[in-house]
């Protein structure tokens, strides 16, 4: 049918709410599990308001920062963690991790296909970025996924005497593939380490935190990294990233982040710690709100005849939802409608443009409190076939629902899709 009236859209909304209810119930049990884990970590570390005071200058003896890092380590099943406003983004946290543990002559093996766009220049797979891993004599071998699954046999065969780090990207990022579940990651790590126990397994954990009941270190990973303006910041953190894992590796990363010898001991937290703690406390809830939003987005766009991935009823291990549009125009219109339904900058219109670190023009709809925050509702993607917009985040499910209904109306008005 051709959708012409708001009532018809409302009927579809109601149907989708009913169809998603059982899945939402399952998500709430994950939320409860993770909320308990975080709560208990706070209690174990005896967090008090004195931990929020922060530090200035060198940031020596910042016991609030140390307590925060012990809470992160506990929740993520790691020995140690770095949680810092000086880690400026996910890309930066991953960069510090890789440069922290790799040395000239080593090989990095990425076993989940091409890494996230911004990492290609970090590694030296693209561009002439001076200071890439390649520039420092660290090579990278990319092993593609086989049927969207880690090709463990091939990985085991291709490991050479110089291979030092195995990298796994948990989330799909800007790719059109599945995200990888903790169970799959556990199995791959076990098989690879049986043959090559000396390898360091690094996980790009961006967008994955609190989506499942376990985190990668609990499944055998040695080192993980992510962004605080995604899931673990709970929407409150203004800037930052984290690295967690084996104590010796986290120490090496700290030497890279600050300076050899100084490591974790320095790093002023200024006035940020209260939000770091509170955001982490809220993160299990906010992540599930975003996840509900993603599932709703899949269901509604599918009803509109578009191609969402994953489908609304597929198992998930990240908060990213992609939707394929028929053309660039439709994709741009959709993202503009999301912007229009945002709390911040609803009056501005986003257009595709060049972005540092990205190869194609990118459109970014993000009416967010924190610049670039993708735990807040955002819709973006490189403008290239198959015109895939990546939609993620949402501090509250109801906001995502309103924004999606708004976008559906905008597309239907222009008669670019039929229901
Ligand atoms: C977002 C993301 C990154 C990079 O994080 P930024 O904070 O945007 O730099 C890296 N990997 C994956 C899988 C991501 O989703």
Could you report the per-residue pLDDT of 312-356, keeping only the tens digit for each?
Answer: 999 999 999 999 998 899 999 999 999 999 999 999 999 999 987
Indicate which atom in ligand 1 lies nearest the CA of residue 229: 7
Best residue among 206, 225, 391 to mutate for probing ligand 1's pocket (most ligand atoms within 8 Å of CB) is: 206
pLDDT tier at 7, thresholds 50, 70, 90? confident
Edge-to-edge strands, sheet with 139-142? 80-84, 241-245, 223-227, 200-204, 163-169, 107-110, 139-142
Any atom of ligand 1 within 6 Å of the Cβ of 204: yes
Whole-angstrom distance, CA of residue 402 vs CA of residue 410:
12
Mean pLDDT value of segment 291-315: 96
Residue in the block written with tokens 């055998």: 220
Report which ligand 1 atom has the smallest distance to the Cα of 92.
9
Alpha helices in 205-272 (DSSP H): 247-257
| Model confidence pLDDT, tens digit, residues 237-251 | 999 999 999 999 999
Over the stretch 191-250, which tens digit does the pLDDT of each residue have? 999 999 999 999 999 999 999 999 999 999 999 999 999 999 999 999 999 999 999 999
pLDDT > 90? residue 417: no
Q: Tell me what the mean pLDDT of segment 54-80 comes to.
A: 98
What is the pLDDT, as a whole number, of residue 140? 98
Q: How far is the CA of 35 from the centre of ligand 1 (A)?
A: 24
pLDDT at 382: 87
For residue 166, pLDDT over 70 is answered with yes
Q: Which two tokens stand for residue 213?
A: 């009941």
Which runs of E-coded beta strand occur in 187-294?
A: 200-204, 223-227, 241-245
Which pLDDT does position 65 carry in this prediction?
Answer: 98
pLDDT at 1: 40
From CA 48, how far away is CA 46, in angstroms rounded?
A: 6
C-alpha of residue 204 to centroid of ligand 1, in Å: 8
Nearest CA to ligand 1 atom 15: 173
Locate the ligand 1 atom nearest the alpha carbon of residue 170 and give its number. 13
Is the beta carbon of 227 within 6 A of some atom in ligand 1? yes
Q: What is the distance between the terminal CA atoms of the chain, rounded to a whole angstrom?
A: 5
Q: Give bridge partners of residue 167 from the DSSP assignment.
A: 110, 202
Mean pLDDT along residues 61-67? 98
Q: In what order do the strands lie in the sheet with 378-382?
A: 307-309, 321-324, 388-392, 378-382, 362-365
The percent of residues in the chain predicted with pLDDT above 90, rounded, is 89
Instruction: Let me know how many helices (H) and strands (E) the chain has, helices first.
Output: 10, 12
β-strands 321-324, 362-365 pairing: unpaired
């Amino acid at each position: 049918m051709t959708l012409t009236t708001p009532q018809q859209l409302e009927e579809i909304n109601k149907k989708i709410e009913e169809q998603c209810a059982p899945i939402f119930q399952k998500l709430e049990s994950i939320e409860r599990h993770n909320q308990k884990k975080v709560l208990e970590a706070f209690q174990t570390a005896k967090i008090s308001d004195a931990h929020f005071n922060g530090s200035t200058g060198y940031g020596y003896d910042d016991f609030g920062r140390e307590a925060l890092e012990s809470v992160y380590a506990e929740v993520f099943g790691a020995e140690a963690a770095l949680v810092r406003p000086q880690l400026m983004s996910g890309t930066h946290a991953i960069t510090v991790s890789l440069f922290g543990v790799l040395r000239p002559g080593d090989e990095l093996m990425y076993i989940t296909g091409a890494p996230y766009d911004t990492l290609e220049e970090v590694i030296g797979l693209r561009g002439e970025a001076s200071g890439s891993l390649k520039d420092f004599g660290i090579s990278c071998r990319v092993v593609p996924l086989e049927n969207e699954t880690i090709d463990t046999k091939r990985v085991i065969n291709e490991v050479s005497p110089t291979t030092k780090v195995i990298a796994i990207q948990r989330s799909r990022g800007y790719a059109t593939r599945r995200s990888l579940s903790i169970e799959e990651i556990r199995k791959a790590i076990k098989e690879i380490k049986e043959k090559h126990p000396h390898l360091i397994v690094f996980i790009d954990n961006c967008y994955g935190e609190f989506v499942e009941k376990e985190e990668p270190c609990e499944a055998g990973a040695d080192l993980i990294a992510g962004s605080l303006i995604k899931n673990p910041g709970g929407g409150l953190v203004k800037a930052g990233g984290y690295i967690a894992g084996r104590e010796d590796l986290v120490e090496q990363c700290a030497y890279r982040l600050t300076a050899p010898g100084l490591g974790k001991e320095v790093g002023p937290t200024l006035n940020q710690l209260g939000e770091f703690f509170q955001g982490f406390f809220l993160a299990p809830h906010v992540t599930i709100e975003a996840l509900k939003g993603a599932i709703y987005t899949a269901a509604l766009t599918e009803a509109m005849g578009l191609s969402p991935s994953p489908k609304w009823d597929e198992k998930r291990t990240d908060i990213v939802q992609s939707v394929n549009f028929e053309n660039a125009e439709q994709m741009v219109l959709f993202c503009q409608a999301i912007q229009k339904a945002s709390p911040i900058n609803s009056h501005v219109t986003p257009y595709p443009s060049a972005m540092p670190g990205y190869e194609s023009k990118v459109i970014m709809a993000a009416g967010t409190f924190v610049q670039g925050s993708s735990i807040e509702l955002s819709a973006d993607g490189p403008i290239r076939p198959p015109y895939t917009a990546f939609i993620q985040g949402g501090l509250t499910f109801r906001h995502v629902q309103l924004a999606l209904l708004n976008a559906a109306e905008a597309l239907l008005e222009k008669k670019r899709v039929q229901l």
